[in-house]
Amino acid sequence: MAGALTMAWELTAEQQELVDDVRTAARKTLAPLAEQGRPGRVNRPLIDALGDLGLLARLFPGVGKGSSSREAAAFDLCLLREALASVSTESETALALQGLGAYPILQSATTEQVDRWLPAVAAGDAVPAFALTEAEAGSDAAALTLAAEPDGDGWRLSGEKVWISNAPEADVYAVFARTSPGAGSRGVSGFVVSGDRAGLSGESLDLLAPHAIGRLSFDGVRVEPGELLGEVDQGFAVAMRTLDLFRPSVGAFAVGMAQAALDAAIAHAGEREAFGGPLREMQAVGHPLAEMATRVEAARLLVYRAAAAYDAGRPGVSRTSAMAKLFATETAQYVVDAAIQIHGARALQSGHQLEHLYREVRAPRIYEGASEVQRSIIARELYR
């Protein structure tokens, strides 16, 4: 029938209830725990709470239940990240990193490794990390040089990783290393590496927004055959499958931050009196608010469409995921900046919601593929 389209981005009553429940839990339980955490360190009480609330289990719905389908729906992941980000960015990031670090294990590790790590991750008892980036292999991830040299029936890892979230405090790492020199993306393998493995060390790094992130050093770290992720020299595909799932949800994180900034700007412009009336009656304020609201809604629709496409297994997922991440993260940067402009100097005061968002919103335009990388992916896919 003409006009009878399936609107995947129109939330069902059940999905809206999930969003409302997550926001309530974030306000009452998670945000206070986030505020008590040490800047730049893994907040284990917060992760425990995410597990106790059942939010982490939603990332791994079949783990420990004998189900053959253990991967969260991309759409549900986006709803969780957007809802959390609109209230507590620290809570959102803690949840997202549990998923990002564990998904290579879930998708490609042996049953033994999955059973060892995933129930603990889903319960909030173990902290994973996704160890791909290197100092000279960020956006060009296929250029990584961490060496995996044959050692009997296993390998030894030597080199460094940097800008690794949850490092050096994670309990388990999905590590990507070079098994075939000179082979580019076709010479990379993934491994499961316990955080207490001999020869593995690290240090924390300070960023603009104080997240748990650091550098890892591998000094002949031994990995066994059963700790291989998938097949030898096929690790790059393992990493990209994880990023294809998480890129739309980075967009959802950005949408949540943008919505929080927009809500703050709307409230401030309606209450603040200037030049004989509320700010919202000034065209110089009303028009930016309209632009902000339009961009946020467009970003949300792109994110939902990309997530729905991933869940449906439609072709062109790489393009739609790249579009969602690109547009949503760029939109969030614009909206947060515009909200600060509407608020004036008060928004720059340490501890203000917008000051916090201004620091948080910058990194998503870089990690999991910088905006320039997303544009390159989209351009390439146009000719595929």
Q: Which of 169, 291, 368, 372 is catalytic?
A: 368
The helix (H) or strand (E) run that includes residue 274 is strand 273-274
Report which residue type is found at 266.
I
368 is catalytic: yes
* Residue with token string 């297994």: 313
Nearest Cα residue to 58 out of 66, 48, 50, 67 = 50
Which residue intervals of 69-214 are DSSP H helices?
Answer: 74-85, 89-108, 111-123
On whether the CB atoms of residues 152 and 142 are closer than 8 A, the answer is no
Six-digit token string for 89 = 């960015």
Two tokens at 132? 């791909």
Q: How far apart are CA 310 and CA 245, in angstroms?
A: 7
What residue type is assigned to position 345 of the chain? A
Residue 51 CB contacts under 8 Å (≥ 6 apart), including other chains: 57, 122, 123, 124, 125
Contact (CB, 8 A) for 51 and 107: no
Nearest to 300 by CA among 58, 82, 26: 82
What type of residue sits at position 166? N
Count of beta carbons in the 10 Å neighbourhood of residue 2: 4
152 burial via Cβ count (<10 Å: 0-12, 13-18, 19+): exposed
List residues with catalytic annotation.
Answer: 368
